[in-house]
Structure 1
Amino acid sequence: MRPTDMPDSEPPALAAHGEFLAALAQQTLAGRRQAYRRIGPQRGPALVLLHGLMDNSAGFAPLLAALEAEHALDRDIIAPDWRGHGESEATPGAYWFPHYLADLETLLDTLGVAEPVVLIGHSMGGQVASLYAGARPERVAGLVALDSLNVPDSDPNDSPARYRDWLDTVTGRASQDPRVYASVADFAARLARRYPELDNAALFYLARAWLRPTGDGRQCLGIDPAHHRRMPYGFRAAEACALWRDVQCPVLCLDGGRSQATLFIDAETRAARRACFADIEHRTLAHCGHMLHVQDAPAVAERLHAFLRRIDART
């Protein structure tokens, strides 16, 4: 069922982990409100779940429900909302990518997580996780990258346009108003155009997780509009590869075979990036798109459970 024939009422709810969704907490980090969810016994390597751009920690609830069905959830689970996402406070001014790595480290320190963790990141969260695992290899016992490593390299010739666009938004010449939608169903229909492989249950789950009421009957994205700015610099593949070569832990890379991310770079380049990691297992879920952990949480959980057993055997 596609955008033109979305249901008038919401479909049956997607299976999600209720305890995790209810476990929202907050800490003040460097004077900024940091939201996160934490469940489970605080022993053994913690699983730290890192969401992507536009998303928030609630996006992992379907995967955790599937992991629980695999009897693989008796462990410390931590999932932050990145700054300016979900319930975390926005940052005045610009968002710079290295700050996400600092936010991750500060949260782990604040929560007293001293033992090496397993980082599980989707999209932008996987980029943060993979770079952090190279910068702080002693703090990471395992790395899971969910459709995360296929970011196109930045083109230096695009720099003039990038800087002009960034200057226009940061100085107020271009609009930075929140993106507003008529209803949850309206936004779900828009998501269907972006992720045509998702069924209605997944589309409505993401719509409810990402949206916040505006007070006038409409809905807006629960992120700081500044995240929509085009930054003056792009992804630097050579720098990322240098960090990935310093990763010392086992790596599981799961990609969606129908993900638009696979169109950004060719198969040879994708393979060369994965080869930067000394110990990597790569799998493609052929039927899945970019939101693979929501589209088919049981399939992702099955592969993740096997990977976690391997990590547990090493610790």
Structure 2
Amino acid sequence: MLHPAPEAAAYQPVRPSRTEVITIHGLDYHVRQWGDPSAPKLFMCHGWMDVSASFQFVVDALQRDWHVIAPDWRGFGLTGWTTVHPGTVSYWYPDYLADLEALLDHYQPHAPVNLVGHSMGANVVGIYAGVRPARVDRLVCLEGFGLSATQATQAPGRYARWLDEIKAGARLPIYDTMQAVVARLQKTNPRLSDSQAAFLAPHWARQTAEGKWMLLADPAHKIVNPVLYRIDEIEAVWAEVTAPVLHVEARDSATLKSIAGDVPLDAFRTRFRSFRNLHEAIIDDAGHMLHHDQPVEVARLIEDFLTR
């Protein structure tokens, strides 16, 4: 008779986090923090369909004392959803910039900041650093390469798809057990260890009144953005960044290959030349969630770059 494998013990943080809730643009914003508030501040911004606790492994690998501040973006984790407001059905990308500025104004209003972002979070901090160059001291983008270039001819179809998806409504999967959530995390990232997945799962999902588990994300994030991604605009913003920029890429990033599509990777990467002061690093044996796969190396790169 076969018996199910025992559940793995969850990863035990070396540096436990604390959390607080602040009000940003009418939303209850959940902000996770590690370290002494008197230490140098380091802001970390997570990616799409992720949460602030995702940085725990990197924080534990840091060798210096930092006051790390990491929000759950609007509609993710324990931060409020915009769709609870009447008439709101979508998430608009510029709102993340406004949320980030409010966060920085709250925690470090009078000095340039160090920003680290992963994936969508890296795209947000990269744009912010070009829009507010004087506010950013150093910028680290983990797998923050932007989206696929678009053509104006795609606009009619994109708007039509957006209308159709709003009408149909968006849903996210419901899981029967916490172990099913763990399995879902490891399906997305096969390199994720059992203990890491067991740690992340309760931060990534919550139990419903019926005993099921639902993701801590507003389903509206699944609705397509009706506004096309215009790489020429993004490159113009990146060109205004005055801070040194570290772009960290995973050697085995399936996400990068998907976004590049038919464009050869060397040609795709030319977009990064827009940054005036660019430094690049590639991490082996890692995929898109490189901060989970190689947290020690990611932490080393971040600290070396910030303190050199």
Instruction: Say if 2:94 is the partner of 1:98.
Output: yes
Find the counterpart in structure 1 of residue 293 from structure 2.
295
Alpha-carbon spacing, 1:241–1:298, altered in 2? closer, same or farther (3 Å): same
Identity of aligned residues (%): 35
Runs of 4+ aligned residues of structure 1 deviating over 4 Å after TM superposition are: none
Find the counterpart in structure 2 of residue 163 from structure 1.
159
What is the rounded CA distance, in whole Å, between the counterparts of 1:57 and 1:6 in structure 2?
35
The residue matched to 2:298 in structure 1 has which SS?
Answer: helix
Task: Work out which of the residue numbers 214, 219, 222 in structure 1 matches 2:216.
Answer: 222
Q: Deviations over 1:127-153 (max 9, x none)?
A: 000000010110100000001115212
Q: Deviations over 1:184-224 (max 9, x none)?
A: 22233233333233333333333332111112121111011
Find the counterpart in structure 2 of residue 211 from structure 1.
205
Find the counterpart in structure 1 of residue 244 from structure 2.
250
| Counterpart code for 1:218 | K
| Counterpart code for 1:48 | F
Q: Report matched runs for 1:16-95 at 5 Å.
A: 16-20=13-17, 23-43=18-38, 45-67=40-62, 70=63, 72=64, 74-92=65-83, 93=88, 94-95=90-91
TM-aligned CA deviation for residue 231 of structure 1: 1.3
TM-score by length of 1: 0.88
The residue matched to 2:30 in structure 1 has which SS?
Answer: strand
Query: Which consecutive unaligned segments of at least 5 residues does structure 2 have?
Result: none
Query: Which consecutive unaligned segments of at least 5 residues does structure 1 have?
Result: 311-315
The residue matched to 2:16 in structure 1 has which SS?
Answer: helix
What is the rounded CA distance, in whole Å, between the counterparts of 1:7 and 1:300 in structure 2?
34
Q: Report matched runs for 1:164-183 at 5 Å.
A: 164-170=160-166, 173-183=167-177
What is the rounded CA distance, in whole Å, between the counterparts of 1:259 and 1:117 in structure 2?
28
Find the counterpart in structure 2 of residue 313 from structure 1.
none
Alpha-carbon spacing, 1:198–1:155, altered in 2? closer, same or farther (3 Å): farther
Q: How many residues align?
A: 298
| Counterpart code for 2:137 | A
Alpha-carbon spacing, 1:155–1:205, altered in 2? closer, same or farther (3 Å): farther
TM-aligned CA deviation for residue 177 of structure 1: 3.2
Task: Work out which of the residue numbers 271, 275, 278 in structure 1 matches 2:276.
Answer: 278
TM-score by length of 2: 0.90
The residue matched to 1:275 in structure 2 has which SS?
Answer: helix
Instruction: Say if 2:140 is the partner of 1:144.
Output: yes
Alpha-carbon spacing, 1:46–1:186, altered in 2? closer, same or farther (3 Å): same
Instruction: Say if 2:272 is the partner of 1:269.
Output: no
| Counterpart code for 2:57 | P
